Structure 1
């Protein structure tokens, strides 16, 4: 079982309770009473073994918490319950918790002391001195241990040995109270199987020199125990002080408002002022401040009796005499006598605690099982623990990273590198596509009034995409207000036929009449091609940033949890330098491709000729419609007549041809069969702009050939030099840059493998928790 109490401050620390023969008292007392039932003893032994594993930090174990204000007689009560004597001193002796773990053993009595420290989110236990075999040394050792806990900076710089050897009399304290605690492990043939924690008593005031924060500090410390659902609250109230003025009662009521798990204990009944006995008797009768488990009253030796060396047997005898001879208590109905005397209280505590333990066993088993699973999962979620061979481990990580990078460069399904790049490639294609020259087969004076429609054959070939430059998206950032944007866009700057004709005439040198130099077409083509450099550069930079981000993510995935992050950082620097070099080569390749396009050339004669004919027809048709709309409309509306054999020649004659049909019929009569309606457009008198139409068709057709070639070559170059280049030779780059294969490779890898202190601390904490809960699980196996 576990008993947690606050410190009492009645008597000097030297007071002991010897038996009548002058030796330590050896009769079973309280929960060490051998007459306890076997089942109760088994339950109490179990919970003490669970406490010995430390698992109470992780799960809620049944316990008894003795609370009360200063001078409420708590220490004397604990001595009566446990059968041992606690160290005492005048004033507030206990400034930090003192956890005592008692084990019955056939070996000689001994005691070990340790410090349990919570610092920076970590918990550790440090042995404080050698094992004690003389009970008279325990009080001094505990006092020195508390001294060490209350002076953390001295303990850190000088170690615990300083506090074991130096004189602590008159020493100053850095802290007035602390939640860190002293742990005692006591075993012997006459020791009870139990545990308790001696806590600072609740403070009513701190005086002129005290710290008001200590009041709440101690209160919160006590509350941290009694708020647990499995904690039985043993509320100690001194009869010499008004009941309502004792803060422990209010604290207990705050965490157990219905009194389900609180047991009241009245101490110092011999100090009740005359005539006020009924106020306390009403509690024993459970008539006020009712508790499910009732109120008890005990009479412990006073400080003067302890100084004179009263024995335990004498103390119990005097307690019996007091309740038998004092009228207020002896006249109680017999049914209330079971609520008087320490022995009755102890029997009741034993029964309640053992019953609670039995009831809680299935829940404790479930909590331990869940804690084992949760702890194992938490450990598995941590980065892999440092290897004893960091050089091989780093080499393995590098190979794994290179394989994964190659896989992403090759392409992975869904949200991979190539999927992120593809929108930028499409935007690049559109950016080049809209640089197509906007030739208008009309004079500039008709600007705004006449405009050629988009060629239908282009709509079918290149889908119905927008020609509007403002529709750019998908990663390439172009602002319609930027000069750079205006510079690459030819669309919107219409080129009229008379402008083309003027340029052609100005370019003539020694050509024959009606002939024009190729430099005209070349000039237009070069003015278009030079606009392609900016979209190519934008695509290159966009792919570079996308690739860099993917590579950084992969680096973090593979190396982010290794060591303290130095390896990840070094690799990021090396890869950034590697990508920058790939970027330089890519820019050189783009510049080279731009130079190739600086001179018009194509062996794709059929493709070029086909487009030239289509564009020339497109431009001519638009101009002819403008000059003779009636004739062109008639040609477009012409429908060939049905075959002659569709009529009965003997009865009905075919209708006489009209319009275009009549003209075509006349041409047949003149010996010119096979003339198509479109050929009639040639009857329109030429206006001298035919050379300009041919130049326009040449340039526009070449654009179709060149731009489709360019929008393939640039992404291919970027893919080869930049994307594939990121993976090409990368293992050698990393090995060389890190120096892990050099003469200092082992030292370098060892430094890189140093684990992050936070992760190391978390792993250590979880490992200790895993040990605790596993050890607790093993203890439970002995019961089930």
Structure 2
């Protein structure tokens, strides 16, 4: 197919002077504005339109909507009738002879992923003969659609039109200059495929629609919508897609094509669009008439085409009968003038905003990069070693204790207190009275007051006949049961003596109960320690590589912690075995003191049930003696006075109970006091020792030899250290992909920023 023949235009087709150019090419506009178009074109060269909304005009329409003919009329060249990638036309008015340079703009790689910086490749030599443009564009399109092959191979070969992809976002850029052109830039997009029956498939239909949408959805894109008058307006999909992205018609310029093909008598149905009465657009609808294919074959010149277009609208009703107000919406030159003005105004408005958007987007991109994990190190062995040392140091602080609520030791302390209470609740529940009848078996018996202060419990916790948690851990052991057991154990002992084995049996009963709470404490500390360490591992290792280092550290520490827990439990069981082996203490003073206190407590409680009258009298005397200087009551007072008269001045009122006849339960009382006194000594010892064993073997023990364990387990101190650490340092595909995407975006943005700085913006 031949192109329009080059010719100078002396007059516009509507009768206006054509020597002054239109739009941006009009000398009445400042040179600065003309430079701004070049600047926007250079920004497009960088590929930054992927990130920033750049002003541009996008020509869209259904296939066979007259889009190519319109572009030919504006640019003076002939385009292939089927395009499968965007074609950018950069027109500039020049007094020099007409020329065209074809370039390929690669903004994505062969897999469709955005490039960091658009790759621009000049495709062939500069063209000075318009008849060569169509073939060059066809070859350029094949180069775009075969991304795996060198583009230059398509300049000379005559292979078939087989392509690797059906459509592409990479595009052809035509830089055309000549005396009859306007300063204008626009991009011609592939025609929308109406249906499968019209030569497409579902995939291609959707692909083209997505490609067109990616352009016209941007707020700074002026949509040049071409609508063929030979097809019903409502059936044109390009119009519906435009309404979707510009529902108010603020960015759309409508162009009616092929008005000469309207069936006779139906012309009036299209005039409401020109009058903006139907589907109103802010920049109105235009109507153009382009040469037919027969005219082009006969070699019609550009000037002849404009003249024929002017004659058509001037002589053909109802176009010729339109009010002069609407005549300016007819003819190609008026459309080009309006397009150039709109683009000029849009660029002038957007450039200051673009600079700010570039700065903000660069900052946001840098922040997004900073939030990503550090890129893989060139010295992975040192980096892994550094991570391990830092982790072990921080773990050491955790194990030693951090003065913060909720830290490891603070979390363990309540469990240690529960353990202490559990051990204390295994104390034998001796009752210094017989279990003979209902009256004595239900006598209230309280722990002695001296234990409350020693164990650090409040008075509210020291309930009678109950453990501290309100639950009876041990059944009461009555004094007659103790005595019966003592008698049953006698072998060769003299009368009045009982074997020590009785005390040992009672001691064994409570030491046998210590294993379970000790294991519970050890396992609780193990679980709590594991949770704190897990929380500590993540911030140190989660961002390194693909998570392999973190997983391996977790496994190694779990194994090492398990071995330390086993060591702690073994030591605990040994300590408890020592207690079970038999009673032993070198704290004779404490044992004797406790025995005396418990014996006195038991005897007093027993006398309260055996001789209540005497006990009540003694208590009454003590109460009166505390408030009256000289007791005036008879009874106990007289006894105390009489004892003083015979020289017994050191007698205490509580000693009067010793005047009673000997208690046959005296051996049992001694056994009870012995056992209960030894419990106090042993219970405090085991509570401390178990806590110390867990702390030494498990808590602090975890920090001992952990670093060598990690080094050895990871293998980073061996001959394969570099290989192992390099594998561990490999970045996850998602993070690597995100980093690559951000780096490419930053590259595009910085290149675009340099373009703005170059021209002094």
TM-score, normalised to structure 2, is 0.86
Q: Report the CA distance between 1:762 and its aligned residue.
A: 0.7
**1:84-483 → structure 2 map (5 Å cutoff):** 84-86=77-79, 88-89=80-81, 93-95=82-84, 97-98=85-86, 100=88, 102=90, 110-113=101-104, 115-117=106-108, 122-124=113-115, 131-133=123-125, 136=132, 137-145=135-143, 147-148=145-146, 169=160, 171=162, 180-187=168-175, 196-207=186-197, 211-212=201-202, 215=205, 218-414=208-404, 415-446=406-437, 449-462=442-455, 463-464=457-458, 465=461
Q: Distance in 1 between matches of 2:284 and 2:46?
A: 33
Q: Distance in 2 between matches of 1:707 and 1:163?
A: 94
Tell me whether 1:577 sits opposite 2:559 in the alignment: yes
Q: Report the CA distance between 1:768 and its aligned residue.
A: 0.9
Q: Distance in 2 between matches of 1:459 and 1:363?
A: 78
Secondary structure of the 2:584 match is coil
Tell me whether 1:54 sits opposite 2:47 in the alignment: yes
Match of 1:745 among 705, 716, 721: 721
Q: Distance in 1 between matches of 2:226 and 2:475?
A: 97
Q: Distance in 1 between matches of 2:35 and 2:644?
A: 125
Structure 1 residues 655 and 256: CA distance shift in structure 2, 3 A: closer
Q: Report the CA distance between 1:215 and its aligned residue.
A: 4.8
CA deviations over 1:426-484 (Å, ceiling 9, x no partner): 22222222211111222234475234123222233331448878959xxxxxxxxxxxx
Q: Distance in 1 between matches of 2:625 and 2:411?
A: 58
Q: Is the 8 A contact 1:40 1:350 kept in 2?
A: no
Alignment match, 1:484:
none
Q: Distance in 1 between matches of 2:209 and 2:115?
A: 24
Structure 1 residues 121 and 202: CA distance shift in structure 2, 3 A: closer
Give the RMSD, CA atoms, in angstroms. Answer: 3.6
Secondary structure of the 2:170 match is strand
Structure 1 residues 161 and 777: CA distance shift in structure 2, 3 A: closer
Q: Distance in 2 between matches of 1:735 and 1:661?
A: 82
Q: Distance in 1 between matches of 2:702 and 2:627?
A: 73
Structure 1 residues 661 and 212: CA distance shift in structure 2, 3 A: same
Structure 1 residues 392 and 232: CA distance shift in structure 2, 3 A: same
Q: Is the 8 A contact 1:122 1:761 kept in 2?
A: no
Alignment match, 2:577:
595
Q: Is the 8 A contact 1:129 1:164 kept in 2?
A: no
Secondary structure of the 2:602 match is helix
Unaligned runs of 5+ in 1: 1-13, 22-26, 150-154, 473-488, 647-653
Q: Distance in 2 between matches of 1:709 and 1:597?
A: 10
Q: Report the CA distance between 1:15 and its aligned residue.
A: 4.6
Structure 1 residues 295 and 662: CA distance shift in structure 2, 3 A: same
Structure 1 residues 412 and 671: CA distance shift in structure 2, 3 A: closer
Structure 1 residues 442 and 138: CA distance shift in structure 2, 3 A: farther
Q: Is the 8 A contact 1:437 1:495 kept in 2?
A: yes
Q: Report the CA distance between 1:763 and its aligned residue.
A: 0.4
How many residue pairs match? The answer is 728
Q: Report the CA distance between 1:749 and its aligned residue.
A: 2.3
Alignment match, 1:16:
3
Q: Report the CA distance between 1:317 and its aligned residue.
A: 2.7
Q: Distance in 2 between matches of 1:120 and 1:466?
A: 78
The 10-residue stretch of structure 1 (213-222 or 557-566) with the greater mean CA deviation from structure 2: 213-222
Q: Is the 8 A contact 1:428 1:539 kept in 2?
A: yes
Structure 1 residues 208 and 626: CA distance shift in structure 2, 3 A: farther
Tell me whether 1:688 sits opposite 2:664 in the alignment: yes
TM-score, normalised to structure 1, is 0.83
Secondary structure of the 1:531 match is coil
Structure 1 residues 205 and 185: CA distance shift in structure 2, 3 A: closer
Match of 1:617 among 593, 600, 612: 600
Structure 1 residues 99 and 501: CA distance shift in structure 2, 3 A: farther
Q: Distance in 2 between matches of 1:673 and 1:71?
A: 132
